[in-house]
Amino acid sequence: MPEATTTPSSRSRPRMTRAAVRRAAALAPGVAIVIRGAQRGRRPTAQAVEVARVRDGVGAGKSVELLLASGRRARVPREQWQEVQGDLEAFVREELAPLDAAAREAVLETLAAATGLDEEASLELSASIQAIREVLRERLPRCAVDEAQPAGLSVEQVLAVDDSSVWVDGWMHDEDGRGAVTLVSPESARLAVTAVAHRYERPDVVQFYAGLGVERTRDHGFTAHLTLPGPSLLSNGWIAELETADGTQLETPCPAVVRDPAAVRATILGQLGAAGPVGGPLAERHGRPALTRLQERIVAEAEIESVDDYGEQPRNPAVSIVVPLYKRLDFLEHQLLHFSRDPGFAELELVFVLDSTEQAGELAAQARGLFALHGLPFRVVNLASGAGFAGANLRGIEASRASRLLLLNSDVIPSRPGWVGEMSEFYDATQDIGALGPKLLYEDDSLQHAGLYFHRPAGSEVWHNGHCFKGLHRTLPAANLVRPVPAVTAACMMVDRDLYEEAGGLPLHYTQGDYEDSELCLRIGELGRRNWYLPSVELYHLEGQSYLPGVRRVPSEYNRWLHSQLWGERIEELMSGFDPHDPAASPHRPTTERGKSS
Amino acid sequence: MTTMAEPIDERAATGARPLRVLYVAHNHPTLHPGGAEAYALELYEAMREMPGVEPTLLARIGTNVARRRSGRPGTPFSSVNGDPNQCFVFTETDHFDFFTLTSRDKSLYTEHLANFLLAHRPDVVHLQHTHFIGLDLLGLVKRVLPEAAIVYTLHEFLPICHRDGQMVRTFDASLCEEASPRRCHECFPEISEQLFFLRQRFVQAQFENVDRFLAPSAQLMDKYVRWGIEPQRIEVEEYGRLEPAARAPDPPGGKPTNIGFFGQLSHFKGGDLMLEAMSLLGERAGAHLWLHGANLELQPQEFQDKLAARHEALRDRVTFRGPYRHGELPKLMADLHWVVVPSVWWENSPLVIQEAFFHRRPVICSDVGGMAEKVAHGVDGIHFRAGDAHSLARAFEAATTSPKLWGSLRQGIREPYAMDTHTERLLDLYGELVDARKGALTHA
């Protein structure tokens, strides 16, 4: 039997071992299931079954290298590899199917962990593993939901949060409420649900089983965010199993996985907001990790697809202005008209990021026409998919070059030329400055933004963002003093790129644009900087025009809750010295005073 | 170098190149009758006669006013009646954004109008109207021809008021004194205050390119100043008019019972108000109303029905005489003692008042806006309370029963502002603005 040749191990490389392979079959290009050992014909142990990445053509093309999931590395001469390698179906039928139940389960566990083995997690690998699962897995009696049968199980939603975690919602009923639910992924990963799930009352289930008499529990519902050992890419084939305390075992198929990130987010937020204000164990143990991962997935998927330059971009821009565009492309015409009338824009870099990607064609046509008309150069960043407010800013910043950033909303319209230069001058002249925000006005000259602070309304556990002097007239003396404030809005925020990056940028974990700016300002504060309000620069901010009213209640509630979870203590400290109504007040600085502002 | 404008006449005498003035109008009067269009053509023709001036008229043509279905391939421009200095520019009505008042198709500016400007290189661009062409033309002129002066004659309130530029509230038909995002949103609840604000800032930013605004009436100027045009950039300049070829003969003697109306028979022009006043008046004064006007068929059906129903009972006292040509005015005026201008909106400076005065007919008009400004109550006409049919009926009664009053008001009529005076004033202004622009560019 062919013996694998080994190469010396080194610290930087995976451990090399004398691993012989006696049979192998391809699961996907570059990935194979193998049985270690030399002797063909003997029934393998479950431990001998492994999944390996296969690198062909090493050793001057004469060998095949195997990177085993267990961490071992082996080299097999090519002709030997060809000899042991064969058809997957025969492999499964002859080698794996005859194993006993425990060994088959162990093999499935091995396979479940192997889905991430090919770096570009492929559907083909998942499909091969699912096919093996169908041969090897122990089938349980199918659950028939019946009001006379105490054991019942239903999974109503499986949402893909990202490739390797899911959000699941369903209900389970048994005699004593102690039954265990396990979810089995198409790639054969087994996830314990009831041990970790948030349990809640399902009045409909209680009603359905009312004929069975008094219940031990009313909390039949379960919701959980579950992490998989490797990526799961298949939408069909999830199975739920129930094992009751008396040993009854049942299984039931799950509905197809929902993958669309917007739908996943809406469902999760809907569940978080279903029982009153967002918060509590469901939000803490499931909602927050799920939404954080979902947001990361959304931004990761929203790669820069293309960057379109309109006109010759400035060589050494003093400031990069980054403007996310979402749905309301009509704002572009207004901003470009006003910017083009400002000579200061010659030294600025103007970067628009399209967050509503379905409008790429429309925007390109509009951008061409508006550039030809006004002659003001700008750049449009197109994304592979929607990134959200913070994500769009992130991509825009990646595509910009100046050492100073100005984050700007698309519905902000300047009141006069020269404002960017004035903000920049103030920024340069102020020691230890963090983020700088100007005065923002509504269309009737009342104040929209004169600095942000934090307050906890009576009876509320969570901190809210408050706007100083909001709705009062722009000439209000108290709103016309330059001063440090706890935070400024990202609707128009100037900050140096280095500092922005040191502070981690706008956090990505909030949903649908909210509280990113205040968290960024809090982080900037942690770095010993102060955030300033500059009332001499006035712009108009047509707040909230990009969103439909009403759809933001739960996202806002979630964001506020998350913000308080993360920053509550710091905010408490900060606000102890800040009176939003007293223009002489400055936010408390816990870090050492590093010098007075000019 | 002196900073004074070189006198225009000397330019011609010394062989200096003539002052090139481009007039831009939203329609050509041969396609669509209308006061502003007629004035634009008259002004162009008057300037053509002036030594040292080379005027060009660019008039918009489109599917909504002409039988032509489209522009020619590759160009929106075409010739007008063999005149080398008149030009049509075709624009698609659908491309015009009636809210922000500019064209959505920017190639109109960047590919076509830019070439037109560079080909003609006007010293002055005098805009009569930017409807259907769009406000982006203003920024374009400044970008393509930075030395050119821009003059903009305001004919109504379109830049201020989304309600067809009428400044009449949508919900109660009351006259609006002042536009603001909040008040405009009240008139159009489906359009947000923020959008009205964007509209206002958009128009104002485009208007910053204009060197001088001309308002044919003081009341119109006041409303634009309140809206945001600096007083030093706007002045009152009445429409100059060419003297008619013939004046109407004196009307028949006896009681001055014949009242004439000229214009569109629409609600805003007081079409229904006049008929209501005539029914209130009854037969006692013997007044007869002669209606000359077009476009009744374009009015809402409801309005047409209302007018027809009212007319049914007034057949012996109200006569529809249908559309008329400008040249027919002396003949039509011959039978009339009075001209009535009963509009229920502000008007600007109604040309019909000037026509009436040319033919020495006193005017009965609403006591608001451009009508009250151009007609002096008790001097050359009679005011009635705008929109009030009873008040109009009383004015009709007073007018038609007193030959003495008619005679004295007729005596009070002054000759309308003459085109000659107007063109002289405009040439002074053009010279002043061209020099100022040159100065600004040298100092920049």
Q: What is the pLDDT of residue A434?
A: 97
The b-or-e profile of B262-300 (16+ CB within 10 A means b, else e) is bbbbbbebbbbbbbbbbeebeeebebbbbbbbeebeebe
Q: What is the pLDDT of residue B36?
A: 86
B201 contacts A334? CB cut-off 8 A:
yes
Measured CA distances, A2 to A40, A77, A334 (Å): 11, 8, 74
**Using 50, 70 and 90 to split pLDDT, how confident is the model at A342?**
very high
Region B195-207 average pLDDT: 97
Q: How far away is chain B from the Cα of A476, in angstroms, using its nearest Cα?
A: 21
Higher pLDDT, A471 or B441: A471
The b-or-e profile of B194-205 (16+ CB within 10 A means b, else e) is bbbbbbbbbbeb
According to the per-residue pLDDT averaged within each range, which of A37-41, A454-458, A525-529, B282-286 is highest? A525-529
**Using 50, 70 and 90 to split pLDDT, how confident is the model at A598?**
very low
Phi, psi of A65 (to 5 degrees): -100, 135
How big is chain A by its Cα radius of gyration, in Å?
30
Closest partner residue to A373 (CB to CB) among B136, B180, B208 is: B136
Of the listed ranges A542-546, B336-340, B397-401, the one predicted with least confidence: A542-546
Region B292-302 average pLDDT: 85
**Using 50, 70 and 90 to split pLDDT, how confident is the model at A230?**
confident
Mean pLDDT over the full length of chain A: 89
The strand ranges marked E within B178-299 are: 212-215, 234-236, 258-262, 288-292
Of the listed ranges A33-42, A83-92, A342-351, B195-204, the one predicted with least confidence: A33-42
B301: which residues sit within 8 A by CB, 6+ positions away?
none
B181 contacts A333? CB cut-off 8 A:
no
Q: What is the pLDDT of residue A8?
A: 43
Task: Give yes or no for a contact between A532 and A430, defined as CB atoms under 8 angstroms apart.
Answer: yes
Phi, psi of B357 (to 5 degrees): -70, -35
Q: What is the pLDDT of residue A85?
A: 87
A contacts of B105 (beta carbons < 8 Å): 369
Q: What is the pLDDT of residue A424?
A: 98
Gap between the Cα atoms of B156 and A32, Å rounded: 80
Measured CA distances, A447 to A281, B174, B269, B270, B407 (Å): 38, 31, 42, 43, 61
Check residue B255 and report its DSSP letter. S
A contacts of B205 (beta carbons < 8 Å): 337-338, 341
User: Which residues are bridge partners to A306 per DSSP?
Assistant: A382
**Using 50, 70 and 90 to split pLDDT, how confident is the model at A544?**
low
Q: What is the pLDDT of residue A40?
A: 64
- Residue A417: closest C-alpha in chain B: B205
A80: which residues sit within 8 A by CB, 6+ positions away?
A2
- A interface with B, Cβ–Cβ < 8 A, is 330-331, 333-334, 337-338, 340-341, 369-370, 372-375, 411, 413, 443-444, 540, 542, 545
pLDDT over 80 (residue B270): yes
A contacts of B197 (beta carbons < 8 Å): 443, 540, 542
A158: which residues sit within 8 A by CB, 6+ positions away?
A166, A167, A168, A183, A238, A254, A255, A256, A257, A258
Gap between the Cα atoms of A513 and A506, Å rounded: 10
Check residue A155 and report its DSSP letter. E
Phi, psi of B308 (to 5 degrees): -65, -40
Q: What is the pLDDT of residue B1?
A: 38
Query: Among candidates A574, A572, A568, A598, which has minimal Cα distance to A586?
Result: A574
**Using 50, 70 and 90 to split pLDDT, how confident is the model at A580?**
confident
CB pairs under 8 A between A and B: 55
A contacts of B180 (beta carbons < 8 Å): 444
pLDDT in tens, B370-386: 999 999 999 999 999 99
Share of chain B above pLDDT 70, in %: 95
Share of chain A above pLDDT 70, in %: 91
Of the listed ranges A172-176, A385-389, B440-444, the one predicted with least confidence: B440-444
A373 contacts B139? CB cut-off 8 A:
yes
Query: Among candidates B168, B170, B188, B189, which has minimal Cα distance to B178?
Result: B168
Gap between the Cα atoms of A353 and A355, Å rounded: 6
pLDDT over 90 (residue A58): no
pLDDT over 90 (residue B65): no
Number of helical (H) and strand (E) elements in chain A, helices listed first? 15, 27
Number of helical (H) and strand (E) elements in chain B, helices listed first? 16, 16
Q: What is the pLDDT of residue B421?
A: 96
B contacts of A337 (beta carbons < 8 Å): 139, 202, 205-206
pLDDT over 50 (residue B340): yes
> Using H for helix, E for strand and C for coil, what is the string for B385-396?
CCCCHHHHHHHH
Of the listed ranges A392-406, A428-442, B243-257, the one predicted with least confidence: B243-257
Gap between the Cα atoms of B233 and B152, Å rounded: 10
* Other C-beta atoms lying within 10 Å of the C-beta of residue A157: 18
Region B68-77 average pLDDT: 79
B180 contacts A444? CB cut-off 8 A:
yes
A411 contacts B194? CB cut-off 8 A:
yes
- B interface with A, Cβ–Cβ < 8 A, is 100, 105-107, 109-111, 136, 139-140, 143, 180-182, 192-194, 196-198, 201-202, 205-206, 208
Q: What is the pLDDT of residue A17?
A: 52
**Using 50, 70 and 90 to split pLDDT, how confident is the model at B130?**
very high
B94: which residues sit within 8 A by CB, 6+ positions away?
none
Higher pLDDT, A238 or A71: A238
pLDDT over 80 (residue A594): no
B181 contacts A369? CB cut-off 8 A:
no
Q: What is the pLDDT of residue A6?
A: 42
Q: What is the pLDDT of residue A12?
A: 44
Gap between the Cα atoms of B42 and B51, Å rounded: 16
Closest partner residue to B197 (CB to CB) among A333, A369, A540 is: A540
Q: How far away is chain A from the Cα of B92, in angstroms, using its nearest Cα?
A: 16
Q: What is the pLDDT of residue B4?
A: 45
Q: What is the pLDDT of residue B67?
A: 67
Task: Give yes or no for a contact between A152 and A209, defined as CB atoms under 8 angstroms apart.
Answer: yes
Higher pLDDT, A541 or A78: A541
Mean pLDDT over the full length of chain B: 92
Gap between the Cα atoms of B32 and B12, Å rounded: 35
Q: What is the pLDDT of residue B9?
A: 53
Closest partner residue to A370 (CB to CB) among B100, B106, B198 is: B106
Closest partner residue to A443 (CB to CB) among B105, B181, B205 is: B181
The structure tokens listed for B6 are 């070189």
Share of chain A above pLDDT 90, in %: 69
pLDDT in tens, B98-129: 999 999 999 999 999 999 999 999 999 999 98
Which residue of A329, A330, A331, A333 is the best one to mutate when testing the B interface, meaning the one whose CB has the most B CBs within 10 A? Answer: A333
The structure tokens listed for A27 are 């699961």
Q: What is the pLDDT of residue B124?
A: 98
Q: Write down the ipTM of this complex.
A: 0.86
pLDDT over 50 (residue A595): no
Of the listed ranges A26-35, A149-158, A519-528, the one predicted with least confidence: A26-35
